[in-house]
Copies of this chain bind each other. A is one copy, B any other.
Amino acid sequence: MASIVASAHAGRGSGGKGPRGLHVGIGDDAAVVDLGSPAVLSTDAQVQGTHFELDWLSAEALGRKAFLVAFSDLSAMGARARWALLSLEAPASMSMRRGRALLRGFVAACRENDVALVGGNVAAAPRLALTVTAVGEAHRSLTRAAARDGDDIHLVGNPGDAAAGLELLAAGGRRGKLVQAWRRPPCHLQLGRALSRNVGVGAAIDLSDGLVLDLSRVAAASGLGALLDTDRLPLSRALLAAVRGRGGLVNEALEYALGGGEDYLLLFTARPDRRSRNSIASLGRRHGVAISRVGSMDSSLKAGSVVNTRGQALEGGYQHFLTSRGARA
């Protein structure tokens, strides 16, 4: 397996062929790379049995997803992604073919985003786990604490699809847009960088644990409340169709959107003036994504709270969501 990691990335050494800025790559005690300061660092893991089951996605898709989930944090900081490290735990029984497919998916996602895999580790373990360290450099960091009173809240993409897809997978489903939303989170590295250069933009976060919970984190860090207009949430046709197909109501789709995790959508706040709104609409067009204005930050609300337009406090998040689902199933 170690040799797979070593061979996965062609670029090595200080010669001309490797990725730009790579002094020492995989094969020495550590990688030595150029990196602008401040540096942006994040680590995330995908663990079999906790985050996925082997038959939920191909090995290649899993390698890609491990990259996307880890680098989603860098998008949400507005960082430029540069380098990746991958620590793999794998059963000794795992085939070389499967190992190669995992790495192929991971490295393909690296290449598409101008990131190089420069560190690897392989350890035997009873279950598969991929721990990824994402390394980048900051322009201006879009911290969670940078939201301002009155800021618009913008959301990129359709919330709830991945959580509904996860539920389908757990129930034996293997196809469709919702499953695909779970399998392949969006990648907003380019958009995140563009947002960090936009002076109107304040805070940002990627939605890993559910819209309400993650928005409450932005609110708490910024010392503000968040007013969320749930009527403006861009529920996907696929989600609405799935809920209707089993006789459910729109409210049920909303539950996925508010409480479902693993969306990895980008949420950010920005000045509410027309110029800022226009510039964000233009960014959406340029990057080919749907950006929805779904609420505003409000200092008159309790810090850390998320409230709907009827003044009701919303609660949620991945844990809550799972429990309520489970209780109803």
CB closest residue in chain B, given A141: B32
Whole-angstrom distance between the alpha carbons of A136 and B41 in the complex? Answer: 12
Distance in angstroms from A253 CB to nearest chain B CB is 27
Per-position binary interface string of chain A over residues 22-35, scored 1 when its CB falls under 8 Å from any chain B CB and 0 otherwise: 01100111111111
A24 to B141, Cβ gap below 8 A? yes
Contacting residues, chain B, for A143 (C-beta < 8 A) = 24, 28, 32
Closest 6 pairs (CB-CB, A-B): A30-B42, A29-B76, A35-B39, A131-B131, A133-B133, A43-B85
Whole-angstrom distance between the alpha carbons of A40 and B23 in the complex? Answer: 10
A23 to B141, Cβ gap below 8 A? yes
Contacting residues, chain B, for A221 (C-beta < 8 A) = 27-28
Can you name 20 extra interface pairs (CB under 8 A) apart from A29-B76, A50-B125? Answer: A27-B221, A30-B73, A30-B136, A31-B40, A32-B39, A33-B38, A34-B37, A35-B37, A35-B39, A39-B135, A43-B85, A43-B86, A43-B119, A44-B121, A45-B131, A47-B123, A47-B125, A50-B124, A51-B123, A125-B127
CB closest residue in chain B, given A145: B28
Interface residues of A in 289-317 (CB under 8 A from B): none
Q: Does A213 contact B (CB under 8 A)?
A: no
Contacting residues, chain B, for A87 (C-beta < 8 A) = 43-45, 87, 131
CB closest residue in chain B, given A76: B29
A35 to B35, Cβ gap below 8 A? yes
Q: Does A83 contact B (CB under 8 A)?
A: yes
Q: Does A134 contact B (CB under 8 A)?
A: yes
Whole-angstrom distance between the alpha carbons of A51 and B124 in the complex? Answer: 9
A31 to B42, Cβ gap below 8 A? yes
Interface residues of A in 63-79 (CB under 8 A from B): 73-74, 76-77, 79
Q: Does A288 contact B (CB under 8 A)?
A: no
Contacting residues, chain B, for A138 (C-beta < 8 A) = 23, 32
Please list the residues of chain A having a beta carbon within 8 angstroms of any beta carbon in chain B.
23-24, 27-45, 47, 49-51, 73-74, 76-77, 79, 83, 85-87, 89, 118-121, 123-127, 129, 131, 133-136, 138, 141, 143-145, 204-206, 221
Distance in angstroms from A204 CB to nearest chain B CB is 8
Whole-angstrom distance between the alpha carbons of A300 and B136 in the complex? Answer: 44
Contacting residues, chain B, for A47 (C-beta < 8 A) = 89, 123-125
B23 to A85, Cβ gap below 8 A? no
B45 to A41, Cβ gap below 8 A? no
B126 to A28, Cβ gap below 8 A? no
Q: List 30 A-B contacts (CB under 8 A).
A: A24-B141, A28-B144, A28-B145, A30-B41, A30-B42, A31-B41, A31-B42, A32-B141, A33-B39, A33-B41, A34-B38, A35-B35, A37-B37, A41-B83, A41-B133, A42-B119, A43-B86, A43-B120, A43-B131, A44-B87, A45-B87, A45-B89, A45-B123, A47-B89, A47-B124, A49-B125, A51-B123, A119-B133, A123-B129, A133-B133
A28 to B77, Cβ gap below 8 A? yes
A35 to B34, Cβ gap below 8 A? no
Contacting residues, chain B, for A134 (C-beta < 8 A) = 30
Distance in angstroms from A7 CB to nearest chain B CB is 16
